[in-house]
Structure 1
Amino acid sequence: MPAVSLPGTVVDYAVDGEGSALVLVHGVGGDADRAFGNVVAPLSDTRTVVRPNLSGSGATTDDGGPLSVQHFVAQVAGTIRDTASEPVDLLGFSLGAAIAAATAATHPELIRRLILVGGLVHTTGPHDRFNFDFWLDLHDTSFELFKRFAAIQGFSPAMLDVFGHEGLAAALKDEWPHGLRRQIEAATRVDVRAYLPAVTAPTLVIGFTGDQVTPIAATRELAAGIAGSRLVEIADEGHMDWFADPSRIVALTEEFLS
């Protein structure tokens, strides 16, 4: 995979397709393939799809210190500059949505359109802090229990039933990013509310009413903070249901970008 050297970090990324650039930003526990492997083919038919691995994922390296939204923004902006000569479309998922919004606010010259999926806004409230602290405790106590909880919280009951017993058992054998704990720690310190009024790119915000990781209230707050943004709520789906069936997100993305 190609990579870009930046102060304090080397970011590796995947590139597929040809045409105007669409950059995809993953969240906690994701990487270029885990988060976006199912959307590359349909999205790269008519454009160049760029998928950076943020610190803690893939072959990206850094100094090993605490991670922050600002740290990730620098990695995303550096990847954009390394791969595109004109403004790009930017899609962020979960923590990646917060990073994408902050990138659009601080580097408006780099962004044409912005798509935020299941996005975090801040984790200062009781629910989010309690939840991500629990993730850390589970990670440190039993990683196998953490993976089970991530599946139960990340997918809707209906999607878990679609996976079935064998599918769920196979999912527990998945490899997770080596820097997962650092990413979870970063998620406990997210607050991009002050960035949102500075976002000027046309923005689509997508949320899931069955989301237990980033409840729909966070999606609504994200949309309310960005002037002129369009909000789409997908009923009953969980945070990661679209990993299994990305067709709705792909269709909304194609419609918005065209």
Structure 2
Amino acid sequence: MDLDELADQLVASAVAAGQESFVVLGESLGSAVAVRIASRHPERVRALVLTAGFPVADPVLALAAQLIKTLAGAGQWRDMARLACLSCLSPTDLADIAPADLDALVTQTLAGMPPGTVDHFDLVSRVDVRADLGHLSAPTLVVAPTGDRLVLPQSSYRLAAGITGAKLIELPGAAHILNEADRTTWLRHVREFLGTLPAKSA
């Protein structure tokens, strides 16, 4: 998987669907993809919304990516799902799950893993968009879940610091995968941000 090719393919798909310009929302690795899209196709990007993102894998994410690739290589898919549950949910969310239901959660997580999961984390370990940040001109909202245990909140702070004029919003205690309440708060912030953008020209 190549970051530039992925960015170009997504833009081509949007243009083919009749969208000449658009807002790009990226979460986790998707934030790096969104940054690269804005860097390579600035004329098409009206704004960016980057959630739980990173310009380059921080130490926690880098170790998790290595561990996931190792577990997958050994065929330990269920352990990989356990790691995903531990990393992507908050302690509060996990505390609400009855011990008897943990196995079902792991099974559900495993069933939801797409075939490209290993390729995804391979790209996570290689991506580096730090050099792109200073060249971005699109209005940008950066959302940092402060309870994220997969991508450190500091990675979101670095994204915001590197993009001129970026607005930073924190979701206190939120995990890498937002629960319903945090997603509702996230949606409110995104709508408010989008409401500040100039009207799209006809």
CA distance in 2, matches of 1:241, 1:172: 17
Q: 1:92 aligns with which of 13, 21, 26?
A: 26
Deviation, structure 1 residue 84:
3.2
Match in the other structure for 1:20 = none
The residue number in structure 1 matching 2:152 is 215
Q: 1:134, 1:244 → 2: CA distance? A: 30
Deviation at 1:167, TM superposition (A): 5.2
Find the aligned partners of 1:238 and 1:85 in 2 and give their Cα distance.
32
The one of 131, 139, 142 aligned to 2:64:
131
- Render the CA deviation track for 1:112-165: whole Å, top value 9, x for unaligned: 111000002112x54443221111112223110110111011111101123444
Q: Number of residue pairs matched?
A: 191
1:148 corresponds to 2:85: no
TM-score, structure 1 length as denominator? Answer: 0.69
Aligned position for 1:180: 117
Q: Which structure ranks higher in relative contact order (CA pairs < 8 Å, sequence separation ≥ 6)?
A: 2
Computed over aligned residues only, the root mean square deviation of the Cα atoms, in angstroms, reads 1.8
For 1:214 and 1:240, locate their aligned partners in 2 and report how far apart those are by CA, in whole Å. 11
- Number of the residue aligned with 2:199: none
SS at match of 1:122: coil
Matched, 1:203 2:149: no
- 1:1-258 alignment to 2 at 5 Å? 67-123=1-57, 126-141=59-74, 142-165=76-99, 168-174=102-108, 175=111, 176-242=113-179, 245-258=182-195
Percent identity among equivalent residues? 30
Contact 1:223-1:230 at 8 Å conserved across structures: yes
CA contact under 8 A between 2:23 and 2:46: conserved in structure 1? yes
User: Which structure has more helix as a fraction of its residues?
Assistant: 2
User: Whole-Å Cα distance in 2 between the matches of residues 91 and 127 of structure 1?
Assistant: 23
- Asked if structure 1 preserves the Cα contact closer than 8 Å seen for 2:171 and 2:182, the reply is no
Which protein is richer in strand relative to its size?
1
Look up the equivalent residue of 1:182 and give its one-letter code.
Answer: D
Unaligned runs of 5+ in 1: 1-66
For the Cα contact (< 8 Å) 1:117–1:207, is it kept in 2? yes
Letter of the 1:101 counterpart:
V
SS across alignment from 1:96: helix
* Distance in 2, Cα, partners of 1:167 & 1:68: 38
Given residue 139 of structure 1, which amino acid in structure 2 is its aligned partner? Answer: A
The 8 Å contact of residues 242 and 249 in structure 1, kept in 2 or not, is answered as no
1:80, 1:110 within 8 Å by CA — same for their partners in 2? no
Where does structure 2 lack aligned partners over 5 or more consecutive residues?
A: 196-202
